[in-house]
Amino acid sequence: MGRAKKVVLAYSGGVDTSVCIPYLKQEWGVEEVITLAADLGQGEELEPIREKALKSGASESLVVDVKDSFIKDYAFSAIQANALYENRYPLGTALARPLIAKLLVEVAQQYGADAIAHGCTGKGNDQVRFDVSTAALNPNLKILAPAREWGMSREETIAYGERFGIPAPVKKSSPYSIDKNLLGRSIEAGVLEDPAIEPPEEIYEMTKAISDTPNEPEYIEIGFTKGVPTSINGQPKNPVELIEALNLVAGNHGIGRIDMIENRLVGIKSREIYESPAMVVLINAHRDLESLTLTADVTQYKRGIEQTYTQIVYNGLWYSPLKVALDAFIQKTQERVSGTVRLKLFKGNATIVGRHSENSLYTPDLATYSSEDQFDHKAAEGFIYVWGLPTRVWSQNGK
């Protein structure tokens, strides 16, 4: 008896996920492996990937375009939450995993499979995100993670694959481990493992080096409707178009590079480089529009919610009850977050230079220092007396 009969495997076309196919069948007695490749805008040709799975022994090879849902249902909600893990990483990889898990579960149910599988190792965050998301969506499915158990080195993995007709990577494979989708690229390993070494320019694809960016600034205006970005320079854009367009403009100005030492859920510190031009610009702009349209207490309280939201998304709890409850709070706060934000893109910076909203709480008559001032200055005295009373009493009694 094998560990499972029919398995749906998350498939990327790489050596590891390809080797998973014969491994599941030969070593773990799986009868049938169905592969699933999600098109998240990683810009790779998916037809060759589809064929490679079949050649590697999959009985069925599915490719599903989920770009639209990825942006609408995952990225936009992270923007509304101003989600930056450890104040910097816009979660490009972390947001994709619960969506892939949802697809795996749906396909497993559709094909009557008894397990899902993925090619994650035991050291990363992604295994947690796949496993916990799957358990949340269908606790009856088994989860198989061959690469977590097989203990093969890179060379051994390639050699194992070759026995089953899986070609070794043609070009000398990149020393980096890269995850890529519409929201950006996550790059680790190779020389990057030394946190003291500057990342070589060759690792970047979406962002220009500052020395190559335009010498003139470029102004753009982003429109938001209820916290969701909907237009660029007055032109309505659908979700995928909007992200693609912003990746190009902002990347051209070298915006969105992040070099950080990050704390993984499994306790390991890792050095990760991100390039995420659109997300960096959108989160900045969105946070700014909130500062114009939300009251002080909601803005400040929401910061704590955002921290928690970011943490649980990073830590694989997308489908958890806490996440659902935080979503309800965040959604409620977004009702008036509509308007436009103007940014100046220049030499790696997206500087906010103006904002406008029909729902603006900024009140010129109260803010002005001119003769138009409507603020009741005398009222301040009484307010300060009451506000400072506990401190005054404390001081008077201090011996």
Q: Would you please indicate which residues are annotated as catalytic (active-site) residues?
A: 16, 97, 126, 177
Q: Minimum distance between the CB of residue 71 and ligand ARG, rounded to whole angstroms?
A: 17
Range in contact with ligand ARG (rule: CB under 6 A) among 51-59, 98-106, 177-185, 300-308: 177-185
Nearer to ligand ARG, 177 or 307 (CB): 177
Q: Which is nearer to ligand ARG, 4 or 20 (CB)?
A: 20
Name the β-bridge partners of 115.
7, 142
Find the binding residues for ligand ARG in span 257-286 (CB under 6 A). Answer: 262, 272
Stretch that binds ligand ARG, among 180-188, 331-339, 376-384, 388-396 (CB under 6 A): 180-188
For the CB of residue 273, give the shortest distance to ligand ARG in the complex, in Å: 8
- Crossing angle for the helix pair 277-293 and 239-252, to the nearest 10 degrees: 110
Comparing CB distances to ligand ARG, the nearer of 13 and 223 is 13
How many residues touch ligand ARG under the rule CB under 6 A: the total is 11
The contact pattern for ligand ARG, residues 98-137, with x = CB under 6 A and - = no contact, is: ---------------------------x------------
Q: Which amino acid is at 208?
A: K
Stretch that binds ligand ARG, among 186-194, 250-258, 289-297, 323-331 (CB under 6 A): 186-194
- Give, in order, the Cα–Cα distances in Å from 356 to each of 42, 44, 75, 211, 221: 34, 39, 23, 33, 10
Q: Report CA 392 to chain centroid distance, whole Å.
A: 49
CB of 15 vs ligand ARG, minimal distance in Å: 14
User: Which residue lies nearer to ligand ARG by CB, 61 or 181?
Assistant: 181
Q: Is 179 in the site for ligand ARG (CB under 6 A)?
A: yes
For residues 87 and 397, which CB has a smaller minimum distance to ligand ARG in the complex? 87
CB of 2 to ligand ARG, least distance (A): 30
Segment lying near ligand ARG (by CB under 6 A), choices 178-186, 230-238, 328-336, 349-357 = 178-186
Q: Least distance from C-beta 189 to ligand ARG, angstroms?
A: 7
Question: Sign (positive/negative) of CA torsion 54, 57, 62, 67?
Answer: negative
User: Does residue 12 touch ligand ARG according to CB under 6 A?
Assistant: no
Beta carbon nearer to ligand ARG, 87 or 395 = 87
From the CB of 275, what's the least distance to ligand ARG, in Å? 11
**Which residue number, 200 or 236, has a Cβ lying nearer to ligand ARG?**
200
Q: Does residue 178 belong to the site contacting ligand ARG (CB under 6 A)?
A: yes
Nearest residue to 91 via CA among 101, 100, 102, 82: 82
In the complex, what is the shortest distance from the CB of residue 75 to ligand ARG, in angstroms, rounded to a whole number? 14
Q: Which stretch binds ligand ARG (CB under 6 A): 14-22, 28-36, 138-146, 173-181?
A: 173-181
Q: Compute the least distance from the CB of residue 346 to ligand ARG, in Å.
A: 28
- Count other C-beta atoms under 10 Å from residue 206's C-beta: 21
Q: Does position 94 bind ligand ARG by CB under 6 A?
A: yes
HEC profile for the chain? CCCCCEEEEECCCCHHHHHHHHHHHHCCCCCEEEEEEEECCCCCCHHHHHHHHHHCCCCEEEEEECHHHHHHHHHHHHHHCCCCECCCECCHHHHHHHHHHHHHHHHHHHHCCCEEECCCCCCCCHHHHHHHHHHHHCCCCEEECHHHHCCCCHHHHHHHHHHCCCCCCCCCCCCCEEEEECCEEEEECHHHHCCCCCCCHHHCCCCCCHHHCCCCCEEEEEEEECCEEEEECCEECCHHHHHHHHHHHHHHCCCCEEEEEEECCCCCEEEEEEECHHHHHHHHHHHHHHHHHCCHHHHHHHHHHHHHHHHHHHCCCCCCHHHHHHHHHHHHHHHHCCEEEEEEEECCEEEEEEEECCCCCCCHHHHCCCCCCCCCHHHHHHHHHHHCHHHHHHHHCCC
**Residue 93 binds to ligand ARG (criterion: CB under 6 A):** yes
Of the residues 181, 186, 247, 310, which one makes contact with ligand ARG according to CB under 6 A: 186
Q: In the complex, which residues of this chain contact ligand ARG (CB under 6 A)?
A: 93-94, 125, 177-179, 186-188, 262, 272
